[in-house]
Amino acid sequence: MRVRRIGAVLAAAAMTLGVAACGGDKTYDSVADKVQDAKQVVVGTKWDQPGLGLKKGAEPEGFDVDVAKYVIKELAGGQDVDITWKESASSNREAFLANGTVDIIFASYSITESRKEKVTFGGPYIVAHQDVMVRGDDSSISKPTDLKDKRICQAAGSNSYKRITDPPPDGELDIDAELVGAANYSECVAKLGGNNLDAVTTDDLILAGFATQAAEQGGASFKILGQPFTDEKYGVGLKKGDTKTCEAVNAAITKMYQDGTVQQLFTKWFGKAQGLSAPTAAPSFEPCA
């Protein structure tokens, strides 16, 4: 019993450790402190979502990436920061924050009640809306309820499929559909193009990025139904309890809307997608807790 108790105490102590600086032993009480003092930070983003976070060269690019750069620079008082980019898939975001693999996450990270139990969220910095994407020549699916008995993608770590298959409060439509597993949304889209499933359902910003990429590359033709049925609040993920950074992130997001940066970035990354319009005001923030 004594050994178990000591182990539990040590584990609890480890969980309360601050944010470590790269290449050194110094730790900080918050990510904001680390950014301001060390001028370095590890940022988690998606690397497989065109328009949001896609790694094509030395670092990822997309709307989430540009938002991250803006917010981090604001946290540093306008000074440049050395950013190390880390791929953070839907399946490992909570673990990466908890174990210190990343300091902060910008990765189409929808704020949900279950996730708030493990993560402190800044923002949201934008609100997306779940929609459905099908093959361009598929006329059998014209609205979300047509997904009954259809094959839809279940991306690892994502809750989007539950909006189709589950009843409220976690779900939305409570429709019987066949789930087809995939490691991520790029695999979902590949399976859709290969006729291995009938639809991919997730946030319209994610779908717009994939549809645009396919068109530019001369690949499979996809269409988005244009019938959104949820609000997906994209938050900035932080280790649970880092309220100081959360409040600083919210201040940066507020400024980003006030100076027009959000509208510029939205047009840059999603301006070619039909049916999407740039937000004009910052969303209501979640409590920093």
| Fold classification of 2-127+233-270 (topology level) | D-Maltodextrin-Binding Protein; domain 2 (3.40.190)
Among residues 106, 122, 124, the alpha carbon closest in space to that of 248 is found at 122
d(Cα 251, Cα 289) in Å, to the nearest integer?
A: 16
- What is the average pLDDT across 269-285? 86
What percentage of the chain has pLDDT greater than the value 90? 74
The pLDDT value given to residue 177: 96
The pLDDT value given to residue 9: 34
SS3 label, residue 168:
coil
Higher model confidence: residue 82 or residue 218? 82
CB 270, CB 129: distance < 8 Å = no
Read off the pLDDT of residues 162-202 as tens digits, 9 standing for 90 and up. 999 999 887 889 999 999 999 999 999 999 999 999 999 99
The pLDDT value given to residue 21: 61
**92: DSSP letter:** T
Q: CATH 3.40.190.10 occupies which residues in the chain?
A: 2-127+233-270, 130-224
Q: Is the pTM of this model over 0.95?
A: no
The pLDDT value given to residue 155: 93
| Fold classification of 130-224 (topology level) | D-Maltodextrin-Binding Protein; domain 2 (3.40.190)
**Phi, psi values for residue 160, rounded to 5°:** -60, -40
| pLDDT over 50 at 6, yes or no | no
Q: Which residues pair with 237 in a beta bridge?
A: 105, 121
Q: What is the CA radius of gyration of the chain?
A: 20
Read off the pLDDT of residues 241-267 as tens digits, 9 standing for 90 and up. 999 999 999 999 999 999 999 999 999
SS3 label, residue 15:
helix
10-24, 86-100, 130-144, 146-160: least confidently modelled range: 10-24
Residue in the block written with tokens 């549809």: 211
| Helices and strands counted in the chain (H then E) | 10, 15
